[in-house]
Amino acid sequence: MSCARAGGLQTVDARTPAVLVLAGPVTRDEVAGLCEDVRGLLEGTRAGVVVCDVGGLGPPGLGVVELLARLQLAARRAGGRIRLRDPDPGLGALLDLVGLSIEAERQPEQGEPAPGVEEAVEPGDPAP
């Protein structure tokens, strides 16, 4: 017996943002399809946020800025927004330079526990 996989987007809990992995370079012809993907993820999950993993886009440039601006516009038109995961430090500076404000996921600093991890305190430890 075989089971056919249902077409369309995955079902995701409404509190869990969907993730769209962007691997570059992205051509102009692919931008419209990615915008449709963002709209579909927002409508399918009703999470209000699509996390765009931009770690694979390569070096930041104006093409990347244009792509992210279009994705943000598509998300806003669908009633949501995008958030960047693993952005290059230069990308953040470039986005600031052109005046495009897109939220990025906070990465834990070196030596800092990951979010949701509590550090154990031993009896007799001094208070911070």
Containing domain of residue 62, as a range? 18-104
- The per-residue b/e assignment along 87-114, b for 16 or more CB within 10 angstroms, e otherwise, is bbeebeebbeeeeeebebeeeeeeeeee
Tell me the CATH number at 76.
3.30.750.24
Alpha-carbon torsion angle 82, 16, 79, 42, nearest 10? 90
Write down the pLDDT at residue 19.
92
Domain annotation covers residue 68: yes
- Report how many domains make up the chain: 1
Domain annotation covers residue 100: yes
Write down the pLDDT at residue 5.
45
Domain annotation covers residue 41: yes
Domain annotation covers residue 33: yes
pLDDT mean for each 10 residues of the chain (128 residues): 46 68 88 95 90 91 93 95 93 92 76 56 66
Domain annotation covers residue 9: no
Domain annotation covers residue 4: no
Domain annotation covers residue 126: no
Domain annotation covers residue 46: yes
